[in-house]
């Protein structure tokens, strides 16, 4: 399963890098649980809006792609977008 998690992380990383102004600051961390995988997408503060998109459409599209891939392996995968440069520490963005 770690191979699939790595593949999904690479997919999200590639998509996010294409969307942002600071691609060098894009990082994806995968956390694997018993039934669920969580992908944490870390981007620069200035790029959070680009990854989320208007009314969350871009983020939703990325989540749909991740969901389609995870359905093939019968696992649930969550994508969390995190602003790593927030003054109060990393902040979760929905």
**Higher-confidence position of 35 and 10:** 10
**Higher-confidence position of 34 and 77:** 77
d(CA 17, CA 41): 11
The pLDDT-based confidence of 90 (bands split at 50, 70, 90) is low
Residue 7, pLDDT score:
87
- How many angstroms separate the Cα of 87 from the Cα of each of 24, 29, 92? 20, 21, 13
Least confident of 16-20, 42-46, 69-73, 86-90: 86-90
Place of tokens 């790595």: 6
Cβ-proximal residues to 12 (8 Å cutoff; 6+ apart), any chain: 28, 39, 41, 62, 66, 79
Residue 86, pLDDT score:
56
**Higher-confidence position of 11 and 74:** 11
What long-range pairs does 60-64 form, CB within 8 A, spacing at least 24? 62/12, 62/15, 62/16
Cβ proximity of 69 and 61 under 8 Å: no
Task: Please name each of the domains of the chain with its CATH number.
Answer: 2-93 (3.30.300.20)
| Mean pLDDT along residues 33-48 | 90
Residue 22, pLDDT score:
94
């Amino acid at each position: 399963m770690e191979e699939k998690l790595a593949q999904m992380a690479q997919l999200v990383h590639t998509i996010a890098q294409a969307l942002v102004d600071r691609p060098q600051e894009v990082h994806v961390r995968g956390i694997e649980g018993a039934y669920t995988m969580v992908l944490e997408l870390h981007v620069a503060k200035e790029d959070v809006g680009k990854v989320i998109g208007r009314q969350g459409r871009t983020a939703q599209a990325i989540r749909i792609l991740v969901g389609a891939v995870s359905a093939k392996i019968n696992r649930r995968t969550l994508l969390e977008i995190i602003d790593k440069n927030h003054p109060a520490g990393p902040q979760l963005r929905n």
